[in-house]
Structure formats: structure tokens, C-alpha cells
Amino acid sequence: MKKDTLLTQIGRNPAKTEGTVNTPVYRTSTVVFPNLEEFETRDHNDYKIMRYGIYGTPTTFALESAVATMEGGYAAVALPSGLAAITAALCALLKHGDHLLMTDSTYGPTRNFCETQLRANGIAVDYYDPCIGSQIASLIRPNTKVVYCEAPGSLTFEMQDIPAIAAVAHSHGIPVLADNTWGTPYFFQSLAHGVDISIHAATKYIAGHSDVMMGMIVTNERYWLPIRKAVADFGFCVSPDDCYLALRGFRTIGVRMKQQMANALCVAQWLEHHPKVLRVLYPALASDPGHAIWQRDFEGAASLFGVILQPYSRAQVTTLVNGLALFGIGSSWGGYESLITAPNPETIRTAKPWQPGGPILRLHIGLEDPSDLIADLEQALSNL
């Protein structure tokens, strides 16, 4: 089946739910067994059966199955947030004395976790140039246990050659983790490109409506049990109500992503030719340095991108952002609404200096008419 057909079929089984089209919300803590023998012989490594509420319910299993199927993984597990998914995956595979290779363009809270928690527990962390490709071989040590990618990079949007990085990592027996929130299970089949463990902030495009906090980890068969056990050890679980909302949102990820990509391309192409813009950081644009990799590996683009302005002052940038009427100012992205922030990634990069030549804006394009968004940006830019 094609992707859009799959989205209507996976994660539900009306024959087992009294004919309901959607998997109902199963709220429970305790699960009772018919006899003591079955209770005492239950499989503690089986995370797809009802054992106790913390390990999931049929609502949880429906969402996990749907996301794993769409991304081509063996299985998935839901967590309370994207950051919880990142930290649980890293902790499942790293211990004292190990070494982690982390992309220098990673999500800020991921870097913070590396600096404050992993280092404190005796795990060495090196940040690498996200454009390194197969040359990552020069950074691998005997104790390197994880290579972590994010494509494109958070805030700065460099594309990574994940197949080339994965080939090197796998030749040393090292798993590859990747934050695939931007690519989504709809636009990037990460496991088919060498990723072993794919991580999502389901808060964003999977749920899609700015009303759910959730993370997802999708794994291949080799790493499923270690990852799932670590999630259980941390006591992470998610509400079946939230799983229901996320699965409902996931049903429409195809139509949303395609429309938001079209809107984003329209706005990005307009910004690309604006005299007050230095360049646009969006792999879907032919002018982007990572366009060839994106075109080779991805089936589409998220509606999140960066804009580097001419060298205006921080005060001028603040005036621009505050002058927008249709763009909300706030964290997160992937919902139906447009958002903007003005980050400073140059202050945290270590592997390779980030010198953009001007201040950066991060735009998330929602489902508004792009002509209205362009008009809003035009009036704000005119104030610079």
C-alpha cells in the first residue's frame, strides 16, 4: 500500500474493538489475570501484551504500531516528550567509560543533557561537524558506542549524509541514532538509510495540533529490547488519552505535511529574493548546500527553516519579530500554526564556528494561506 493508504489502515482493528473505527481510549493501571499461573508466568520481555498500565494499553500499542510501520521499523515506544525519547535512547546504550559522537548541530536540550548528565557520569562526548560524512571515521575511538545524527540540524539546517555516516559506524559495530522529527516517518524512512534508532518529538508533526507532549523511539529488531527495557527502567509512560490524540493527528500527517511543505516553499522562495535577507536555510531549496542530499534521501520537507538577515542589530531583529501579526513567538513547531524565534546558535557551536554573517530567524510555516504570511513578513521587514 502507498503511504496515504497505510495511514488510514494501520493502528486500528475494528474486529477487536467492537467495530469501532478508531482504537478506543483504554484507561487503566491494574490488569487482572484469570489465574495465578498466568500472572506468575507472564513474559517480562513482552511489551506488546497487557501486563500493567505503565507498559501501555491497546491505545498505546496502536499508536506505536502505526508509527513503526510508517517508518519501516521493527517496533516503537511512546514516551512523555521528545527529550525523554532522546535521553532514554542514549542512556540505554551508554555507560561510564563510553564515548559518544554527537552532531554539533543538535537540538539544544540534547547538548545540555550531554554536558550536564552524560559527562557527569563518565561518558565522553565529542561534537562533530554535521557535514563530515564518511570522514567521521577519523573521530571513532575504541570506546565509541553511539553516533548521533540530526538531519537537518536544529536551528542551522545542515543536511547530514546519514548513509555515509552509518556505513562507517556499522563497520565498527556502532549503532546510529537520529533525531528524525523534521523528516517525520512520512518524509524520511530513516531505518532504510542506515539509522538503527530513530527518535521523534511526536509533540510536533506526528500529533500535529499543538496540544500533546510526546516522544517516540522507533528501532530495528536488534536494539528493540535494550531500548524498551531502558524506557521501562526509567518508569516512562504516556497517557492513553494523549496516545489517542497523537494517533488521530497522525492520520492526517500526509495531507498536513504536503500542504505545509508547499506553503513553506512559497514563503522561503519569496524570502530568498528579498533584499534584506542574506540567505535562507532550507534543504528543499535548490540553492541550499544540502539540497542534493535532501533530494536523494527525503521524500519531502518539513515546514521549518532558517532565515539569515543582512547584518542588522539585535534591537532591529526584535522590532521585526514583535511586529509580526500572524507568527506566534514560542518554542516548538509542527502544529497547524506559524511560529517564529530568533535564536543565537553561534554561541553554542564547538566543532566548527557558526558565522552566518547576520542574525538568524527560525520560521515554522503553518496552514495559513502563504500569501497572508508573506504580506505579514513584508510589512515587518519594511520596518528594518
Q: How much of the chain is helix, strand and coil, in % rounded to 5? A: 40, 15, 45
Whether 170 and 279 map to the same domain: the answer is no
Residue-wise over 127-150: b if at least 16 C-beta within 10 A, else e? Answer: bbbbbbbeebeebbeeebbbbbbb
Beta bridge partners of 144: 99
Q: Model's pTM, two decimal places?
A: 0.95
Which of 215, 250, 285 represents a domain boundary (last residue)? Answer: 250
Closest CA to 148 of 216, 195, 187: 195
Closest CA to 324 of 379, 266, 276, 267: 379
The total domain count for the chain is 2
Closest CA to 153 of 175, 123, 173, 183: 183
Whether 238 and 281 map to the same domain: the answer is no
Confidence of residue 346 (pLDDT cuts 50, 70, 90): confident
Whether 297 and 175 map to the same domain: the answer is no
Confidence of residue 347 (pLDDT cuts 50, 70, 90): confident
Whether 172 and 310 map to the same domain: the answer is no
Which of 222, 250, 278 represents a domain boundary (last residue)? Answer: 250
What's the whole-number mean pLDDT along residues 228-256? 97
**pLDDT of 60 over the 90 cut:** yes
Give the chain's largest Cα–Cα span.
74
CATH number at residue 190: 3.40.640.10
pLDDT tens-digit map of 118-176: 999 999 999 999 999 999 999 999 999 999 999 999 999 999 999 999 999 999 999 99
**pLDDT of 56 over the 90 cut:** yes
Give the phi and the psi of residue 133 in degrees, each rounded to 5. Answer: 60, -140
**pLDDT of 221 over the 90 cut:** yes
Block residue for cell numbers 491497546:
58
Whether 166 and 266 map to the same domain: the answer is no
Q: Which domain holds residue 71?
A: 3-250
Whether 246 and 302 map to the same domain: the answer is no
What gap in Å lies between CA 92 and CA 60, rounded to an integer? 21
CATH number at residue 321: 3.90.1150.10
What gap in Å lies between CA 24 and CA 15, rounded to an integer? 13
What gap in Å lies between CA 333 and CA 263, rounded to an integer? 15
pLDDT at 17: 92
Whether 369 and 243 map to the same domain: the answer is no
What gap in Å lies between CA 178 and CA 106, rounded to an integer? 10
Whether 119 and 268 map to the same domain: the answer is no
pLDDT tens-digit map of 171-193: 999 999 999 999 999 999 999 99
Whether 242 and 366 map to the same domain: the answer is no
What gap in Å lies between CA 191 and CA 76, rounded to an integer? 12
Whether 156 and 51 map to the same domain: the answer is yes
Q: What is the DSSP pairing of strand 75-79 with strand 215-219? A: antiparallel
Whether 116 and 133 map to the same domain: the answer is yes
Q: Give CA angle at 68 (66, 74), nearest 5°.
A: 135
Which of 185, 220, 250 represents a domain boundary (last residue)? Answer: 250
Whether 230 and 291 map to the same domain: the answer is no
In the sheet with 197-200, reading across from the earlier edge strand, the strands are 75-79, 215-219, 197-200, 176-179, 144-150, 99-103, 124-128
**pLDDT of 353 over the 90 cut:** no
